[in-house]
A and B are shown apart, each in its own frame.
Chain A
Amino acid sequence: MIKFENVSVRFGSGITALNTVSFEIDTNDFVFLVGPSGAGKTTILKLILKQLEAAQGTILVDDLNITSNRFHDIETLRRRIGVIFQDFKILPDKNIFENIALSLKIQHISNAEIRNNVEEVLHLVGLPNKTLLFPSQLSAGELQRIAIARAIIGNRDIILADEPTGNLDPKTSWEIMKIFKKLEKKKTIVFATHNTDIVNSMRRRVFVMKDGHLVKDSKKGGYDI
């Protein structure tokens, strides 16, 4: 469960990135975050990941108040969260296996277990035989699948996707969405996107953001700004 209670974020220059936003996302729910650029979508993701501090309000991840002054265990929180970035953030000097394994290595998991888990997750994203290739040898769609594989491996129960189809053609975007469909009901997914087709077709819960405000929360909404 992710819960925001009157959360605001202000930047030093006086800009209010988020203004008294409140919502609750149940465990294993799927939520689209939509809105124009600068509406506050990425800010919400960064707050959950503790990359940003809220100026006011409370954020709960399950029963954990991550805005509390007493909360310091950022590492444990982040190990529960898989992040998919628009620019993939795949390391060019590591092969595909090493890129995905990073997510497990930091948790000191044994090499045998890492090998099994990486093979399993590569099957799930449809790239079973690419372990030894380097990022430069893969297409953008394949790289995004690798980023998804890295995000979901290792029992991360929350997935934050920041415009994961932003750089992809429509066909590849839909292939990516098929992977997300497989993850539905197994993980809590917060999916920030500009892709109207995907949001309208999927008919999932949609948060519409505008100028730092949550202006609409629809149970089976569409891309309706």
Chain B
Amino acid sequence: MSDVMKSIRRTPYQSFASFLILLFTLFMALFFFSITSYLNGVLSYFETKPQVTAYFQTNVKEGDIMNVKKELESSGKTKDIRYTSKNDALKIYHDLNKNNPLLLEMVSSDILPASLEVFAKQPEQLSSIANYLKKQPGIDEVVYQQNVVDNLLKLTTTIRRVSLLVVGVILFIAIIVLMTTTAFKIALKKDEIELLQLLGASNFYIRKPFLTEGIFFGWISGSTAFLIFYAIFFYFYPFLKSYMGTITDIPLFGLAQYNLYVWPPNAPFILLTYILTVLFGMLIGIIGNYLATSKYIK
């Protein structure tokens, strides 16, 4: 570590350039990672909701609804169909309004509609399922979320592509800058490297201080990027919370069993982003310095 500190003191501007480019790269990587995992989580959230819900008029008999259900199931387009009877609907209503006795008193099962919640095998079939349901006698309303899911899917795909492109370009620039600054440092230590080679030092021994420096910059830049990102995030947290409304407990890429929640971000998720950011930074530092040393240490 003392060698790293000495190197930083000897080349402060080059070291600062390495730090800044790594900080920028890691901040952007962290930003895009968070936004992509967040959008993926939101997408999964909507995908777990019923994709088409058909509400029947209150006078439709249960047998007729079951016939519609059977016919839909036999079409082969559906993954699952859940029937909610009037009584079930009342139960749900009671659960939602248990703190409001006035609302409970005013409603009975007679005025609540029975419904079918349909999950399609393919999102493209949602529209034909909805059209089929609309044509059935006794249908009051058909609600389906194809637009929400489609838009989210488009947005997630676009952001994933944009983030890969942006992070890729920044990563390339970061590695070039790191290689250049390391090459400068190698030039300053030319005599020492030559002497070490003549004394019989291995290439790894000669490379080690440069790689250690890369790891150090990865760690310090990753930590700083993490702190800046979460300082900004928690500053805007109240606004984001109000925007998200009732949507909570979104797991990271479906990893709920590991207690990793992207919204609201919990401690394990924050810790994971820190570890990933720092490791990514260290990896960039190692790659940049390794390439630079490979060019100059033969």
B-binding residues in A (CB < 8 A) = 49, 51, 74-81, 83, 89, 91, 102-103, 106-107, 150
Contacts and interface: CB of A to CB of B under 8 A. Distances in A.
Given A78-B197, A79-B199, 8 more contacts: A51-B198, A75-B201, A78-B199, A78-B200, A80-B200, A89-B198, A106-B201, A106-B205
Contacts of B247: none
B255 to A, nearest CB: 42
Nearest to B203: A75
Contacts of B205: 106
Contacts of B200: 74-81, 106-107
B198 to A, nearest CB: 6
B191 A89 contact: yes
Contacts of A77: 200
A75 B202 contact: yes
Contacts of B80: none
B192 interface: yes
B195 interface: yes
A91 B275 CA distance: 39
B267 interface: no
B211 to A, nearest CB: 16
B143 interface: no
Contacts of A103: 199
B17 interface: no
B196 interface: yes
Contact of B195 (A74, A75, A102): A102
Nearest to A160: B198
A152 to B, nearest CB: 12
Contacts of A81: 200
Contacts of A74: 200
Interface in B39-85: none
A1 B257 CA distance: 68
Contact of A78 (B192, B194, B198): B198
Given A102-B196, A106-B196, A91 B202 contact: no
Contacts of B194: 89
B199 A91 contact: no
Contacts of B191: 89, 91
Contact of A91 (B195, B197, B201): B195
- Top-9 shortest CB links A-B: A78-B200, A79-B200, A106-B201, A75-B200, A89-B195, A75-B202, A106-B205, A103-B199, A91-B192
22 contacts: A49-B198, A74-B200, A75-B202, A76-B200, A77-B200, A78-B198, A78-B200, A79-B199, A80-B200, A83-B198, A89-B191, A89-B194, A91-B191, A91-B192, A91-B195, A102-B195, A103-B199, A106-B196, A106-B201, A106-B202, A106-B205, A107-B200
Nearest to A82: B199
Interface string B174-195: 0000000000000000011011
A75 B195 CA distance: 12
B199 to A, nearest CB: 5
B174 to A, nearest CB: 29
A93 to B, nearest CB: 8
Contacts of A75: 200-202
Interface in B150-193: 191-192
B198 A102 contact: no
A84 B214 CA distance: 33
Interface string B193-231: 011111111100100000000000000000000000000
Q: Tell which of B192, B195, B196 has the most Cβ of chain A within 10 Å.
A: B195
A49 B199 CA distance: 10
